[in-house]
Structure 1
Amino acid sequence: MSPILSLNSITKSFASKKIIDHLSLDIQAGEFVSILGPSGSGKSTLFHLIGGIYNPDEGEILLDGSQINGQRGSISYMPQSPSLLPWRTVLQNVLLGQELQGKKDVETARKMIEKAGLAGYTNAYPSQLSGGMKQRVSFIRALLSPQPVICLDEPFSALDELTRLDMQKWLLSIWDEHKKTILFVTHNIDEALFMSDRIVIISANPASITEEFILPFSRPRHKELLLTDEFLAWKRKIFFALRK
């Protein structure tokens, strides 16, 4: 099966400093892949390359077999902060990605808002929402956008531990239903293990892939998984892989 997203020997430098060095990675359709690496290792730069904000110095990025180097709008992106437009309601924010592509499915948007537990907030503005609620709106917007791949850049890093776990479980429940391809950046080993099909470890600058792990945990995932011996054994394995 051909991958939906391929990074082929990607290299990127800024001011003569090499940030990413001949990095190659294939992502299959419907796969949930997490990228783990040290702070400042180029994870966000990688997303900017995939999103077309930057052009790679070398290599190519393929989406469904077509090169998208420097091409914006090919993937859906959810940043660390919700980045909701304060003058738009929840419904209007959710529909933004579709509107930019000339589409608008209000009925589906309303159903997803309701499933996210936000039925009473359809016409509310971001200032009226909690941090977790804003993140749900941001993810629904990314999920409803027509692009086949979603890049999530540490979307839960600002949330407290309990809210973060609730958001992880909610995101997985939505993802299990829609099975969009997700590339996820996080610093949190537990989060990567709990959510992913595969974990990719990248080195410090310049970033390159050092190890990949296919996880054995069945889906759907439940919070009790975090306390099992198998989960803790995998946590140790990933921890030591990051320290190499």
Structure 2
Amino acid sequence: MNKLSVKKITKSFEENKVLEELSFHVNEGEFVSILGPSGSGKSTLFHLIGGLYTPDSGDIWMDGERINGQRGSISYTPQSSSLLPWRTVLSNILLGGEIVGQKNEPEALRMIEKAGLKGYEHSYPYELSGGMKQRVAFIRSLLSPQSLICLDEPFSALDEFTRLEMQNWLLSIWEEYKRSILLVTHNIEEALYLSDRIIVLSGKPAKVKKEFIVPFPRPRQESIVLSEEFLQWKKKIYNEL
């Protein structure tokens, strides 16, 4: 079953057409990445799915329900962790459930421990490193009631080693919970390593240029990024971009 269906979405801002008849889907429990050149409308797409913008034409469906312009349908992790500085790690994580009256503190504490953050439950964001903040932000998304998580380049601000550590951590958590994830990234390696499918967008106005089914088995092994097959896939996707 499709978790998310985006059907022939077009969006312009005055004379600037950003998306044109863009269509794709995300299946239940699937990890899908969107790659595209800078300015191709990837962030606009997330704003449309999240209900902050309404498409000029086309429809967005979630679990069989049309959600054009409807907020609260997705859980969202932005490029910066966007933690509330006056709330502790635990209270930031509980925020999504708190809004809808579904606080689950025991599960939040379990996830904090699984994320290697035990002992930081009552710390504030300024006391955390960049990687720790992103773990908190992702746990918050995971424990929010929405069934689709949208990740907007969540690791772009991290150094290469922290990024790889975070990717491995994200995969381990996703393998356990199998939530549907839609990731926007500029990083081809990241998309290949994490995803089931990769959707490549054209330049503006963005359309789906190509779709790739990632062939690597799960659970993913870190060693695949050094393999010849991985490099060939990276070249293939690079040429499309």
TM-score by length of 1: 0.98
Q: Which consecutive segments of 4 or more residues in structure 1 shift more than 6 A?
A: none
Equivalent residues in 2 for 1:2-151, closer than 5 Å: 2-151=1-150
Other-structure match for 1:162? 161
Shift of 1:62: 0.4
- Which letter does structure 2 place at the counterpart of 1:146? P
Shift of 1:4: 1.1
3-state SS of 1:231 partner: helix
Please, which runs of 5 or more residues in structure 1 have no aligned partner? none
Shift of 1:185: 0.3
How many pairs were matched up? 241
- Which letter does structure 2 place at the counterpart of 1:55? T
Other-structure match for 1:198? 197
3-state SS of 2:181 partner: strand
- Cα distance in structure 2, aligned partners of 1:103 and 1:80: 26
3-state SS of 2:119 partner: helix
3-state SS of 1:26 partner: strand
- Cα distance in structure 2, aligned partners of 1:22 and 1:30: 25
Q: For residues 172-197 of structure 1, what are the alpha-carbon distances to aligned partners after superposition, in whole Å with 9 as ceiling and x for unaligned? A: 00000000000000000000000000
Shift of 1:40: 0.6
TM-score by length of 2: 0.99
- Cα distance in structure 1, aligned partners of 2:74 and 2:99: 12
- Which letter does structure 2 place at the counterpart of 1:116? A
Shift of 1:228: 0.5
3-state SS of 1:121 partner: coil
- Which letter does structure 2 place at the counterpart of 1:222? Q
3-state SS of 1:21 partner: strand
Shift of 1:17: 1.0
- Which letter does structure 2 place at the counterpart of 1:84? L
% identity of equivalent residues: 65
TM-align CA RMSD: 0.5
Please, which runs of 5 or more residues in structure 2 have no aligned partner? none
- Cα distance in structure 2, aligned partners of 1:101 and 1:46: 25
Other-structure match for 1:241? 240
- Cα distance in structure 2, aligned partners of 1:33 and 1:215: 10
- Which letter does structure 1 place at the counterpart of 2:177? H
- Which letter does structure 1 place at the counterpart of 2:143? L
Instruction: Confirm or deny that 1:210 pairs with 2:200.
Output: no
- Cα distance in structure 1, aligned partners of 2:100 and 2:22: 30
- Cα distance in structure 2, aligned partners of 1:192 and 1:109: 28
